[in-house]
Structure 1
C-alpha cells in the first residue's frame, strides 16, 4: 500500500462509521469504474483494428475524400 493510501485510510478510521462507509463506497466505485474502463478498452482493440483496416481498404479503393481542414 502506498504511503498516501495509508494516510487516507488512517484518517478515514477516525471518521464516524457512516462517513467511513461513504468513503469506502466511493473508493470501491472508482475501482470498479477503472476495471470496467480497462475491460472496455481491451475489448475494443479488435474492433478498432477492423475499422482501421476497412478505412484503409476504402482509401486504397478510392472511396475516400481528402479532408479540407480549411473548411472546418
Structure 2
C-alpha cells in the first residue's frame, strides 16, 4: 500500500466511527467512479469528440455565469 494511503488511514482511525464510515463510503464511491471513467476512456469505440464538445460547452457556460460554485457534496 502506498505510504500516503497508509497515512490517510492512520489519520482516519483517529476520527469517531461515524466519520470513518462517511469517509470510507466517499472513498468507495470515488474509487468506483474512477474505475468507470478509466473503463470509459479506454474503450476504443468512445467518441472523444463528444467529450471534448461537452467540456467546451461547460467552459462556455461557466464564463457566461451559468454555473454555480458549490462545495464538495453540495447539491
Pick closer, same or farther for the CA change 1:3–1:46 going to 2, 3 Å: same
Higher relative contact order (CA 8 A, sep 6+): 1
Q: CA RMSD in A?
A: 1.7
Matching residue of 2:64: none
- Gap runs ≥5 in structure 2: 50-75
User: Is 2:45 aligned against 1:46?
Assistant: yes
Structure of greater Rg: 1
Aligned-pair CA distance for 1:11? 0.7
Runs of 4+ in 1 over 6 A off after TM superposition: none
| Structure 1 length-normalised TM | 0.59
| Structure (1 or 2) with the greater helix fraction | 1
Name the structure 2 match of 1:12: 12
TM-score (norm 2): 0.57
Unaligned runs of 5+ in 1: 52-72
